[in-house]
Structure 1
Amino acid sequence: MDQTKKWQLVQASLNGESLDQIVEKAALFLNSPLVIIGNTSNIVAHSTAITAPDETWRQAVERGYITLEFSATLSKWDQLKDKGARYECMTVSQISGRRRRFYRLTMHSQLLGYMNVTEAGEAFDATGEEEYYFVAQLIAKELYTHMKFSDSGRKTKNEDILLDLVNDGFVNRGHFIDCLRSSSLRPGAAYRVLCADLTGFLSYNAGKDSFKLELLRFFPGGAIVIAGQALVILAEARHCDPHDSERLKELDGYLKKKKLVCGISDPVSDLFAFKRYRKQAINAVRLRPYLLANDRNHIFYDEVKVYDLLSQIPRSELMYYCGRQAYELYQYDQAQQTCYLNTLMVYLQTNRSVNATARYLHVHRNTINYRIAKMRELFQLDLESFSVTNQILLSCQLIKLIEGPHS
């Protein structure tokens, strides 16, 4: 390695040169193109003296951010990082004909982003691992300074606000309001939080950001970030209207194609309360299996609220809140290997429709009529009484939580 260029890099840092200048000198030292990626997938800086003769590289720097798909892949760092490397890194050969190597940029245990080195001037093996690590450490310090003290008057990106909400990055409400003023988010407007687990999602598409563009078609003006292995979207509530069946049908088809399940929170107008609504979206996905119509890939929290409420009760105490008749039905099913309780639950949830119950349980409608008549006879059920059926349905939901969604 050219130690003169290394000293010039260190001197640039000591002299307080800009992040762009330091990245330029770092690229010359490593003799490789560099791209510095922020934690909202934006490209903070990149080398210009040394560039990658690669269309994907050019597209990314011109666009100013990496694709949402590849950002999701970077979030799987612990699974995909190089095995046996002296310093943590991730080498990727699936993007194009040129290998990329990524280093995490951290400061005070905070992930600031990534350094992307593209194999161009020299093969990776021609440079010692410690040199790449040295540059990554130096740029992490510079990026931290850049984020903390530079561009104080610039317009704040909605994604920056969203990521800080996810990571508890605001000191207090006043700090939050100050940052909100410099964004395009509207104080007091109604938003919803959407969350989807990306654990099984893997893509090396780093060219056209089709995933993000497709999501923005459903949620125009929305803020989208990858947080851990979750996709988090802050969307205007009007774009997530539970009564807009056509729009939701289209969204569900898209989510199925992407093999994603998305939870949708209640509307929120006070974004400082974001964490509560993010938890709602997460719980909507978690509790989806308890729903009768659980084949949809989008779930509103409103649909699972009762299960979320009941799950706050210690599991060992749930049965104490179960009504007598429902408990007797449960005991009878256990002893006789029947399925009266589940039949009754589906019957009540389908607004006492025999045909709908039969379709859901994959049995003949006469079987449902027989079971209902038998339950009335054995347990003196008054299914015309609202208070009785309400108590039975609540008890069924309690038992469902005890037994599990697939019982």
Structure 2
Amino acid sequence: MLSFLSFMQKLSAYHALKKESIRYPDSPIFHVQNNLPVRETFTEATAYIIHSDDCLQIPKDNQNILWIILPNGTDDTEIPDWIENYVMLAEPTIQTELTFQLQHILKVERRIEEAHYKLSQCLINRKDVNTILSTGAELLENPLFLSDTSTRVLHWSDLNELKKVDDELIQCIIKHNFVTSDLFEKYDYKTLLPNIEQTEHAFIEHSNYQKKKERLIVKIVIEHRYFGWIVVIPQKRPFEDGDCQILDILANVLSLELERNKIGFALSYRENLLFELISGRIRNQEEFNLRAKGFGWIPGEHFYTMAIGFRDAYQSDNQERSITAYKNHLGMIYPTYKAVCIGNILYLLLETEDLESVANNLDNFFQTYHLAAGCSHHFSNIIEFSASVEQSLEILRIGMKQNPRQNIYRFQEYNMPYLVSTLKKYSQPNYFCLPEILRLQAYDQEFGTDYLDTLQTYLFFRNVITAANHLHIHRNTMNYRIQKIIEITGLKLTEGEDLYKIWLSCLILGVNGFCPH
């Protein structure tokens, strides 16, 4: 129902107002009438368009009528006190055009009221999501679809109608059921997704691309959590006034239905549970198993966590991309995966004892899309997932610095650098270094030599010729350097316990440097 006050506010969007007086702002309005009636029989809940000369003909009992008064040139006619509700325009206007505008306002309002009634009936009669979306599509006279925040399409209103749309993104979604990573970047989803989340009401996203139509979008929120969005495509007709308000109503009804039937949570329960593990809200395995069982997830006994990021993430700000674009791709390669995105890192919880088979399947994918992954150690208690998230990210960080060309960094390969990295977080790591190695480091700094690097390389290969080849020096030079190192440090490079201490010291002093593979 459109009230006098709201009708006046909508009128002000078309015309400047000179005077107004609304004594009964909540009175309804259902009709628009051009000029005064011939027999002075006035209809209540009506807006009458009159000229200022006609004001004296207005009856005194008129509280349920709204008068739209047109000025006569520079006329400054006084409005009689008995006129209860009126609006005088600031400038003269063509009366027929004004009538059309006011009738259009009422027509749009009737569309919105019809949508509110029909969609409310869907909720009252417990209609399913598909029926609610189909009803919304009929009201909007255009096809639409529902997606979650990973861009995965959950429901279509009319797939056949969408197949007719000349839109690269729509055809991609129809083929793959989500937005592929190349189009994710091409159409700047990294900017679009936060924009959807931060916009409270439906809005039209205009397109600057030849192969992408404009679309009407509204976000879906379930229990205060951003769940996804509805997209309407102008396939049957262009967007009209009232479409945004109707889509807002559809979004509210759909959110209530998803909440009532826990549909949204059934679709994203894994992510929710993983977030709760990371935050520490789930404190023991029994609690986790009980909650997961409610969604049909029975955790196994073998887990790894894989942190996936962009290979150039630490070097370039010009190639920012969203890891969400690759989440669905990974689902096709590894269908049973559980994943959660934090920042621009995707964490996979792998329920497997055979990490190598998973790594082999993913290696080409990472190579193709310039991604890299750090793997945690094996764990059997799901509560360790939170710690494994930090561990896998640190392995990724260390691996990318030491071997930037590698695609997958396994914990077993980087456990010693990880140990040193952990030491650095909790204490002064130099305390664990041999004094002799610190002396060698000081010598390098004073004389510009690189004996510490030579020592670490030699200890890694345990062979003079191989180490010399790696350093691109002659073996005689290598022998000279080894003797010089022994002379400076006084250490023996043949005794087992000393070798372990030397190796640990080298790692501590150069954890972010040398690690040949």
Superposition TM-score, scaled by structure 1 size:
0.75
- Do the aligned residues in 1 keep the contact of 2:371 with 2:407 (CA within 8 Å)? yes
Further displaced range: 50-59 or 275-284: 50-59
Alignment map for 1:243-392 (pairs within 5 Å): 251-289=362-400, 291=402, 293-314=403-424, 317-350=428-461, 352-392=462-502
- Measured in 2, the distance between the counterparts of 1:386 and 1:326 equals 16
Q: Does 1:140 align with 2:251?
A: no
Determine which of 109, 117, 128 is the counterpart of 1:8. 117
Task: Tell me the amino acid that sits aligned with residue 482 of structure 2.
Answer: I
**Is the Cα–Cα contact under 8 Å of residues 221 and 255 in structure 2 kept in the other structure?**
yes
- Percent sequence identity is 20
- Cα displacement string for residues 235-271 of structure 1 (whole angstroms, at most 9, x for unaligned residues): 3434423xx7xx8567544422210001122223333
Listed as ranges, the gaps of 5+ residues in structure 1 are: none
Tell me which residue corresponds to 1:176.
288
Give the conservation status (yes or no) of the 8 Å contact 2:429–2:508.
yes
Aligned-pair CA distance for 1:115: 2.3
Please tell me whether residue 37 in structure 1 is matched to residue 147 in structure 2: yes
Amino acid in structure 1 at the alignment position of 2:433:
C
Work out the number of aligned pairs and report it: 386
Contact 1:197 1:229 in 2 (8 A): yes
- Aligned CA distance change for structure 1 residues 59 and 374 (closer, same or farther; 3 Å): closer
Alignment CA distance shift 1:388-1:122 (3 Å) = farther
Q: What is the SS of the residue equivalent to 2:482?
A: helix
Structure 1 distance, partners of 2:490, 2:352, is 46
Q: Give the drift of 1:299.
A: 0.6
1:195 aligns with 2:304: no
Q: For 2:199 and 2:294, how far apart are their aligned partners in 1?
A: 42
Conserved? CA contact 2:307–2:373, under 8 Å: yes
Instruction: State the Cα deviation string for residues 176-207 of structure 1 (Å, max 9, x = none).
Output: 3245446776544423222212575759xx9x
User: How far does the alpha carbon of each residue in 1:279-311 deviate from its partner, in whole angstroms, 9 at most, with x for none?
Assistant: 3222211121454x5531101123333333333
One-letter code of the match for 2:422? Answer: Q
Structure 2 SS opposite 1:76? helix
Q: CA deviation at 1:375?
A: 0.8
Matches of 2:210 and 2:255 in 1, distance apart? 24
Contact 1:188 1:270 in 2 (8 A): no
- C-alpha change, 1:137 and 1:327, in structure 2 (3 Å) is farther
How far the C-alpha of 1:332 sits from its partner, in A, is 1.0
Report 1 or 2 for greater relative contact order, CA contacts < 8 Å, sequence distance ≥ 6: 1
The one-letter amino acid paired with 2:230 is M
Question: Given residue 195 of structure 1, which amino acid in structure 2 is its aligned partner?
Answer: A
CA distance in 2, matches of 1:70, 1:103: 24
The question of whether the paired residues in 1 share the 8 Å contact of 2:147 and 2:154 is answered with yes
Distance 1:94 1:162 in 2: 36
Distance 1:343-1:116 versus aligned 2 partners, 3 A rule: farther
1:382 alignment partner, SS class:
coil
The match for 2:22 is none
Q: Match of 2:229? A: 114
CA separation of 1:272/1:4 partners in 2, compared to 1, >3 Å: closer, same or farther?
same
Do 2:377 and 2:412's aligned partners in 1 also have CA atoms closer than 8 Å?
A: yes
2:271 corresponds, among 160, 163, 177, to 163
- Counterpart amino acid of residue 271 in structure 1: I
**What is the distance in 2 between the residues matched to 1:273 and 1:91?**
46
Mapped contact 2:119–2:136 kept (Cα < 8 A): no
- SS of equivalent to 1:111: strand
- Of the structure 1 ranges 380-389 and 231-240, higher mean CA displacement relative to structure 2 is found in 231-240
CA contact (8 A) 1:255 1:297 kept: yes
CA distance in 2, matches of 1:296, 1:382: 34
TM-superposed CA distance for 1:88, in Å, is 8.4
Distance 2:240 2:490 in 1: 80
2: CA distance, partners of 1:190 / 1:71: 36
Alpha-carbon distance in 2 for matches of 1:345, 1:392: 9
**RMSD, aligned α-carbons:** 4.4
The letter for the 2-side match of 1:333 is D
Supply the distance in 1 between the matched residues of 2:274 and 2:184 (Cα, whole angstroms): 16
Using the alignment, how far apart are the partners of 1:141 and 1:332 within structure 2?
Answer: 71
Question: Is the counterpart of residue 211 in structure 1 residue 326 in structure 2?
Answer: no
Distance 2:183 2:467 in 1: 44
* Matches of 2:428 and 2:448, distance apart in 1: 24
Give the aligned residue type for 1:105.
I
Q: Which has the larger radius of gyration?
A: 2
Q: Which sits farther off after the overlay, 322-331 or 294-303?
A: 294-303
CA distance in 2, matches of 1:134, 1:365: 79
Change (3 A) 1:177 1:307: same
Q: For 1:44-193, what aligned pairs fall within 5 Å after superposition?
A: 44-48=154-158, 51-52=161-162, 53-54=164-165, 57=170, 60=173, 65-67=177-179, 69=181, 76-77=190-191, 81=195, 97-100=212-215, 102-123=217-238, 132-133=247-248, 135-147=250-262, 160=268, 162-168=270-276, 173-174=285-286, 176-178=288-290, 180-181=292-293, 187-193=299-305
Kindly indicate whether the alpha-carbon contact (under 8 Å) linking 1:33 and 1:50 is maintained by their aligned counterparts in 2: no
Alpha-carbon distance between aligned partners in 1 of 2:296 and 2:468, rounded to the nearest angstrom: 50
